[in-house]
Amino acid sequence: MVVVQMYNKKEVRSRDITEPRNKRTDHINKRNFLMAILSRLLSHIVKKNSVALLTQGILSKNSSGSKVPLAAYYDPTPRRTVVRRLLQSVAVSVGRRAVYRSISEGGKRFYSQLPERIVKMPEEKSFQRLPENVKPKHYQLSLVPDLKSFTFQGSVSIQIEVVEPTDEIVLNALDLTFDKAELKGDKVLTSSEVQLSSKCETATIKFASMLAPGPYELNIDFQGELNDKMKGLYRSKYTIGDDQEAYAAVTQFEATDARRCFPCWDEPALKATFDISLTVPKHLVALSNMPIKSSTPLGDLVKYDFEKTPIMSTYLVAAVIGEYDYVEETSNDGVVVRVYTPKGKKEQGLFALEVATKVLPYYKEYFDIAYPLPKIDLITVADFSAGAMENWGLVTYRESCLLVDPENTSAVTKQCIALVVGHELAHQWFGNLVTMEWWTHLWLNEGYASFLEFLCINHLFPEYDLWTQFVNESYIKALELDSLKSSHPIEVPVDNPSEIDEIFDEISYNKGASVLRMLHHYIGDADFRKGMHLYLTRHQYGNTFTEDLWAALEEVSNKPVKQVMSTWTKQMGFPVVKVTSQPTEDGNGVSLTLTQSKFTADGSKPAEDYLWMVPIGISTSKDLPEEVVNTMLKTKSADVVVPNVGPDDFIKVNPGTIGFYRTQYTPELLEKFIPAIKNKTLPPLDRLGLVDDLFAMVKAGHTNTVEVLKLLEAYKDERDYNVWSSIGNVLGRLSQLLGHTDFLKDYNKYQKVLLEKIYIRLGWKVRNGETHLNTMLRGLVLGRLAWIDDEKIMKEAKQRFRNHVTCEEVLPADIRSACYKTALRAGGSTDFETLLFLYRVTDLNEEKERISRALGAAKDPYLLEKALMFAMSDEVRSQDTVFVIAAVAISTKGSEMAWQFFKDHWDEISERFSGYLLNRLIKYLTENFASEAMAKDVEEFFTHHKAPGCERIVQQSVETILLNAAWLKRDSEDIRKYLSSI
């Protein structure tokens, strides 16, 4: 499964709030009513011809056939939204224990104690896995959804094996009503009682007599609701024709929601085969994991019977019923591939089809195992909480993760779609063919798929330079989370299914992928491929533990894979390798002392002893990119001799930023990199790795923030997208922090000077023949500049936005987000309403996401409040609401407002969202705070408000806030002095 990120941390945050509210009211007049009518009328007209709208950007035609701007029909006068807040008062007693932080005083840095908040979440849910006395073998499942009443009827006949004598059968069921339950063996037994437990999410079917061991057939008739929670079998709203609403029926079962659709043994190790039947209105498309075997007309309905599935876990069962178009192609290895799109948009599925038909043969060759099903369908779902889901043979996606409109899709989005397709198709082997035994080993699914997506798509699209992007997008994010005390090991014990959503995070995905990248480098590609083949063939259609993977890779490589990798998967965190040097006695080289210790985000000494087996590579300025030393650091400290190193040569530990650890150099060693940074002889991966490692030392209190500001000045002539992406992470994070000070404007001036050369080089216009990465770099740089409120840049953005709206010059998709934000910050209510209008008339989800997430860039608190209310309105799908609210929290003022909004609307938010989406929202709303008072506010709120499955993210949020507060207190005065001196 692919999860969705709200925004890249590279964005610069600001708290500059202008335009007092009394000026807004001057714009409000009696034309509002007419404007509203015209807007609705135009929306109706434009959506009726949505395909033309998408292919022409935002152009429409007048009665003479000439192209005219949509805005010509529209007067964007603001309408006032009244917000009533229901204030809540909470008080709590909080448990505490000691934690250390680094404090700067008189030029010295030392550690002192301050309280670490332990948030006591209410009502932990008890859990037991299903009894092992009954095993499922085969399901005959029939579903009849009613898309008018939002209910469904179902029946399931389950072939089971009773292993031990019992008088009851316990299986999973949730939000279902049982009409009948009977058991067929030598005779038919009707249940004496069915106990449904919503707490345990089980159904206990009791019988009057004991059941002897042997085969039986369990038959259950049931019914349920097509819910609107984006889990189980749920309804998804879409529009057809003249804005007519219609609904699809869709499944999303991972991790534990198959039980919401049918009674089953809903654990990954309890695999079975499935015969699935769907009875649907005859005008609708019905899809499942396998091809259709037969269809039977039943009046206005059709019953579709699908071929029998391979043995698989319940969370991979899938069904989709709705109105769709599709494009089709057969891959080189003979698999029928279809991409299903909303009606009228099948051309937007062509890129995903191209990628999928290339990915399948690549994986077949790489694993030396053919895709085992006869078809694979990729389908868009209008309402979808994640990014995509790897159901075997029927992969579901949110629209923005699958559809490409040539005129309106950015290079970033197109690249992301390729990666998501690569990720989900990797799961067809890792996760579907071979499945983790329990959710403790989730990383075997997600970490592997996250590694393989880059491996595959980098091969298919080498111009993307994806392994360099991997460091910014995956590796660094994993390091940031894993440095917290509230992180978790890759293999984290999962006792309760409510905890599963918490581990769909940067550790399972990105740290998992990062340590696999390190392992791939350690044993080599050839042995890595052989090991994967052995692992997949040995365990196909079965379930595994992490040790099974290590055993296969160790067997083919003859290297101590289990011994090495267990230190990375079974313990939390990662090391920092400290590097000191002295000349060798013969003067022809350097002797390095490498010392490892656990890296902690607050710079404190870890309470426990940690030791990793660290693969160490070393290169020098004479040998890049080749490694002149390759060794394993097995102890706390070791000496390594690097030959042929002159007095001015640099020594790079961890070249290529492959090892999952931080490197800390002495100032003297770090200084030797500066010339190579300026003349770019140091490769991009190493240039960005240096920045990120030093910044990590800054945040942990080992180095003053001023040092990283000085280092960044060496990057003024930088031209590489990936290096700028890393710099952007630093600039954005500092903007978050300094938004709490009164010298943010000085910092913005610093940013402008740093960005000036690359801005002049790229400009606003796309150049013929420019590279994919340069296109992305322009969007990144303009996105950064959007937040610094430079007068010339704002003027340029406003003009380009105006030209875009009037269709004099439609903005390229890659710079729209930056232009929207800059224009909104430079403008006010009129631009806000214009953006809302553009949101309403487009039917491309990517553009809706781009616009709605730009609303948070407004300076005016009144407009930020409107953006929050808009997020909760019916105009925004629930899957996107979280990210619109989070967009408001980018600025300091916005984060305060968004957090208050979250608390005021907790009842509605907690009803609408759970699991992954709620975890994301809590993270995004709180990560910018930088005071102990806000840490206390967050912990007090969640002590009194139940949020199952969010305990870990709340702990991480409180810890992050306290780290921000310590960092600000430690370095703010030094930063002020430095910025005022340049």
Structure confidence by residue, pLDDT tens digits, 795-832: 999 999 999 999 999 999 999 999 999 999 999 899 99
- Tallying the residues shown for the chain, one arrives at 982
CA distances from 221 to 267, 307, 372, 575, 944 (A): 21, 22, 32, 55, 40
| pLDDT on residue 914 | 83
Give the pLDDT confidence score for residue 126 in this predicted structure: 61
Is residue 925 predicted with pLDDT exceeding 60? Answer: yes
Task: Catalytic residue, from 225, 424, 473, 865: name it.
Answer: 424
Higher pLDDT, 510 or 71: 510
pLDDT of the residue at 241: 73
Q: What is the pTM of this model?
A: 0.86
Q: Quick one: pLDDT band at residue 4, thresholds 50, 70, 90?
A: low
| Interval 158-184 mean pLDDT | 96
296 backbone dihedrals φ, ψ, rounded to 5°? -130, 115
Instruction: pLDDT band for 58, please (50, 70, 90 cuts).
Output: very low
pLDDT value for 5:
59
Establish whether the linkage from the previous residue to 625 is cis, with ω within 30° of 0.
yes
Higher pLDDT, 436 or 504: 436
Cβ proximity of 619 and 685 under 8 Å? no
pLDDT for 810 = 94
Alpha-carbon gap, residue 848 to 835, rounded angstroms: 10
> Binding residue per annotation — 446?
yes
Instruction: Please tell me whether 27 is known to bind a ligand.
Output: no
The confidence band for 307, taking pLDDT boundaries of 50, 70 and 90, is very high
What structural domains does the chain harbor? 29-73 (no CATH), 575-678 (2.60.40.1910)
Mean pLDDT of 899-906: 96
- pLDDT at position 87 is 27
When the pLDDT of each residue in the chain is averaged and rounded to a whole number, the result is 87
Mean pLDDT of 385-411: 95
354 labelled binding-site residue: no
Single-letter amino acid code for the residue at 209: S
Q: For residue 304, what are its two tokens?
A: 């579709």
Higher-confidence residue of 211 and 5: namely 211
pLDDT band, very low/low/confident/very high, at 38 (cuts 50, 70, 90): very low
- For 852-894, the DSSP string reads HHHGGG---HHHHHHHHHHHTSTTS-HHHHHHHHHHHTTSHHH
pLDDT at 59 over 90: no
Neighbours of 25 (CB within 10 A): 12
893 pLDDT above the threshold of 70: yes
Q: What whole-number percentage of the chain has pLDDT above 90?
A: 80
**Quick check: is 424 catalytic?**
yes
Closest CA to 74 of 797, 817, 807, 798: 807
State residue 3's pLDDT score: 67
Going by C-beta distance under 8 Å and a sequence separation of 6 or more, which residues neighbour residue 122? Answer: 943, 944, 945, 946
| pLDDT over threshold 90, residue 117 | no
The residues, any chain, with a CB within 8 Å of residue 731's CB and separated by 6 or more, are 10, 12, 751, 754, 784
Query: d(Cα 832, Cα 724) in Å, to the nearest integer?
Result: 30
pLDDT by residue (tens digit) across 416-452? 999 999 999 999 999 999 999 999 999 999 999 999 9
Per-residue pLDDT, 132: 95
Q: What SS3 state is found at 218?
A: strand
Distance CA 693, CA 661 (A): 9
pLDDT at 97 over 80: no
Give 724-785 as a DSSP string.
HHHHHHHHHHHHHHHTTSS-HHHHHHHHHHHHHHHHHHH-SSPPTT--HHHHHHHHHHHHHH
* E strand map for 313-393: 319-322, 325-330, 336-341, 375-381, 388-389
